[in-house]
Amino acid sequence: MFIIPKRFRGIKRFEQVLRVITKYELGYYLEKVKLKKKSFRLKKKRMTRPVELRMILEELGGTFIKLGQLLSLRPDLIPREYCDELSKLQDDVEPFPYKEVKHVIEAEFNKPINKLFKKFEKKPLAAASIGQVHVARLRNNKKVAVKVMRPGVKALIETDLEILEYLARLFKHHVKQEIIDPEEIFAEFKEYTENELDYLKEAYNIKTFYNNFRNNKNVKIPRVYARLTTHRVLTMEFVEGVEVKEVLACPKKYKLLEKRRISDLIVYSVMKQIFIDGFFHADPHPGNILVKRKSGRITIGFIDFGIIGRFDNEMKQKLGFLFLSLINRDTESIVKGFITLNMVDTAVDVNSMKKDLSSTLGEYYDTSLYNIDMAELFYKSIRVAKKHRIRMPKDFVLLGKALLTLQGMGVELNPDFNLVQETRPFIKKLVKQRTKPSYLLRRLARETNRFAEFIRDMPEESKKVYKTIEKADVSLDNINHDLQTLTAEIRVEAWRIIMGIIIAALIIGASLTYTSDAWLSKTLIIVAFVILTYLLFTILRDNFKRKAW
């Protein structure tokens, strides 16, 4: 018998969830969180916990399969054996009728479907829990793929999310969790699911990829048709080709040189996404990449842009440094990389962390760089990070998982494939950019802004300190005078630092423009000299005043 809170909208669904969990050994946890009364359980052939979890999610379907698929990409949230098992989950469901498809499209655009499309295939090309894809022709005869959201799916998912949130909270408080944080998992999943329920967000992702690869004739990204796209309908160019998993299933259909070409194109495109664009497909598995072979020419295409990773320029630089340190097995630099990424809490024992990292990396010191199992190294690094409460950025973990997927696919297509060898040139190029004048100039500008904010906020922060001391009932006369003097001196010194940064920026700017615009270069040097003269004058003046006083 189950004990269910009355506040739930979907009590029947909650009962179904509990009933399915009870069928397996994991049902024991329902008793722990007081959702089920204790009962006698017959001993039966035991499956491993990861297998049980996969079977539970499969049986519950829909939202729960999506949860499993997301978790399979997040070894920072769940152990590796769970990731490997959950990666087997397939989101294949029965399609919903064409009558409902037609109703959704016509309701979204307030027009008959035959006014929007010249031809529309009634049988879907693929069906999943949130929506299904139909092939159609536009009025100009262009072939398109139309993704239509399943009617009522939003309400169903919201009910499941309510159940999952409640279960996560219960497990957090009643079951000792050493390696899994249920509430953190739920928060990640909720964000991911809300994005999936809005096709405009996926359309934005596709448009970004399209712009990043618009000049590359070897990589096909579908074009989005904005006038035929809404929150519930997504219309995009149809990408021709067969899935890479079909190429892997029938290797004799493709020559070795063709498979190597496929591998090269996939690797280059993913590396470009990560280390150049900073906007990458986080799940580049063989079912999400298409291959087209025509007149001896190979091209690839990407589909399903639901899970995306993002890095800004500063993050790319830091990641490049961290990855190079990992490849070189440099413990000191790895820890430094973690710190610059704000991943290390102040309470972390840095020396203990260095010791564990050295022990992990030490296993590979006698191994050739090109014989290192990057998958194993990645998972071991994740374990060390979790042990020391290092906060792994979500996009960083998605990057690692994407590279591991790439490694598995690359080896199957090309026996000589090596992830380290393929990654290293991109990382070196990224790290090298840190010494370029343009990069240094951007950093100087950023630091100048930070100093300006520091100066701007200083009076307010000083007032807070003043009020805190006042509440402590301390004599404030001397403190107030000293505080004002200190504030004034800090402001003067901060402005001098800013001026120094501006001078450095002007000199770098002059060096950048010297060959292209000599007049501008000379002007920048003169301005830098004037500011430097003023700066020296103020320093000498203040020193003279202090001596006189």
203 pLDDT above the threshold of 80: yes
Do the Cβ atoms of 170 and 30 come closer than 8 Å? no
Q: What value does the mean pLDDT take over residues 486-497?
A: 56
- pLDDT value of position 300: 97
Q: How many structural domains are present in the chain? A: 4
Angstrom distance (rounded) from CA 287 to CA 245:
6
Give the contacts of 178 (CB within 8 A, at least 6 positions apart): none
**Predicted confidence (pLDDT) at residue 352 exceeds the cutoff of 80:** yes
- Using the predicted structure, report yes or no on whether residue 42 has a pLDDT greater than 50: no
Mean pLDDT of 121-131: 93
Percentage of the chain exceeding pLDDT 70? 69
> pLDDT by residue (tens digit) across 226-282?
999 999 999 999 999 999 999 998 878 889 999 999 999 999 999 999 989 999 999
Residue 546: partners with Cβ closer than 8 Å, 6 or more residues away: none
Do 526 and 383 lie in a common domain? no
pLDDT at 350: 79
pLDDT of residue 199: 96
Question: What pLDDT band is residue 107 in, cutting at 50, 70 and 90?
Answer: very high
pLDDT higher than 80, residue 453:
no
121 and 269 co-located in one domain: no
CATH number at residue 105: 3.30.200.20
CA dist., res. 107 & res. 116, Å (int):
12
Q: Which of 135-144, 281-290, 353-362, 480-489 has the lowest mean pLDDT?
A: 480-489
Give the confidence band of 390 by pLDDT, cuts at 50, 70, 90.
confident
- Supply the residues annotated as catalytic: 283
Using CA atoms, how far apart are residues 306 and 304, in angstroms rounded to an integer? 6
Q: At what angle do helices 331-340 and 350-362 cross, to 10 degrees?
A: 130
Establish if 6 belongs to a structural domain. no
Residue appearing with tokens 């359309």: 203
Please tell me the distance from the alpha carbon of residue 347 to that of residue 336, in angstroms, as a whole number: 16
What integer pLDDT is reported at residue 545 of this predicted model? 52
E strand spans, 238-366: 242-243, 279-281, 289-294, 297-302, 308-310
Report which listed range, 141-150, 310-319, 333-342, 441-450, is most confident: 141-150
Which are the contacts of 115, defined by CB distance < 8 A and separation ≥ 6? none
| Residue 332 pLDDT level (bands cut at 50, 70, 90) | confident
> Are 466 and 510 contained in the same domain?
yes
Please name the residues in contact with 305: beta carbons below 8 A apart, sequence gap of 6 or more: 202, 205, 206, 209, 281
pLDDT score of 467 more than 90 = no
pLDDT at 485 over 70: no
**Confidence at residue 40, expressed as pLDDT on a 0 to 100 scale:** 43
**535 and 408 in a common domain:** no
Same domain for 258 and 182?
Answer: no
User: What is the model's pTM?
Assistant: 0.73
pLDDT at 313: 84
Q: What is the pLDDT of residue 43?
A: 47
Task: Report the percentage of the chain scoring pLDDT > 90.
Answer: 30
Last residue of a domain, one of 207, 239, 271: 239
CA angle 35, 40, 42 (to 5 degrees): 120
Question: Is the CA virtual torsion 376, 379, 385, 390 positive or negative?
Answer: positive
Domain shared by 430 and 293, yes or no: yes
Q: For residue 376, give its domain range.
A: 254-434
pLDDT higher than threshold 70 for residue 192: yes
The chain-wide mean pLDDT, for the chain, equals 79
| Pair (298, 444) in one structural domain | no
Stated as kind and residue range, the H or E segment containing 119 is strand 119-120
Confidence (pLDDT) at 354: 83
Domain annotation covers residue 248: no
Q: Is 246 within a domain?
A: no
Mean pLDDT of 94-103: 96
For 147, other C-beta atoms within 10 Å of its C-beta total: 23
**One domain for residues 470 and 539:** yes
Same domain membership, residue 221 and residue 131: yes
The residue-averaged pLDDT of 133-156 equals 96
Residues 330 and 211 in one domain: no
Residue 181 is assigned to a structural domain of this protein = yes
> Is there a single domain that holds both residue 52 and residue 186?
yes
Q: Which residues contact 22 (CB under 8 A, 6 or more apart)?
A: 30, 36
Give domain status of residue 5, yes or no: no
Choosing from 390, 412, 434, the residue where a domain stops is 434
Residue 101: inside a domain: yes
Residue 527 vs residue 388, higher pLDDT: 388
pLDDT at 28 over 60: no
For residue 101, what are its two tokens? Answer: 């498809």
Indicate the range of 262-271, 372-381, 483-492 predicted with least confidence: 483-492
DSSP string across 490-503: HHHHHHHHHHHHHH
pLDDT tens digits, 63-79: 899 899 888 888 878 88
Torsion of CA 379, 383, 388, 393, to 10 degrees: 40
Say if residue 389's pLDDT is above 60.
yes
Q: Exposed/middle/buried for 1, CB within 10 Å: 0-12, 13-18, 19+?
A: exposed
Report how far residue 470's alpha carbon sits from residue 118's, in angstroms, rounded to the nearest whole number.
77
Helix, strand or coil, per DSSP, at residue 311: coil
Asked whether residue 128 falls in the same domain as residue 225, the answer is yes
Question: How many other C-beta atoms can be found within 10 angstroms of the C-beta atom of residue 127?
Answer: 17
2: in domain: no
Pick the more confident residue, 443 or 170: 170
Is residue 1 assigned to a domain? no
| Banded pLDDT at 404 (limits 50, 70, 90) | confident
Q: Look at residue 2 in the predicted model and tell me its pLDDT.
A: 46
Cβ-based neighbours of 520, under 8 Å, separated by 6 or more: 510, 513
Domain boundary pick from 434, 463, 493: 434
Tokens 């990424």 map to which residue?
A: 341
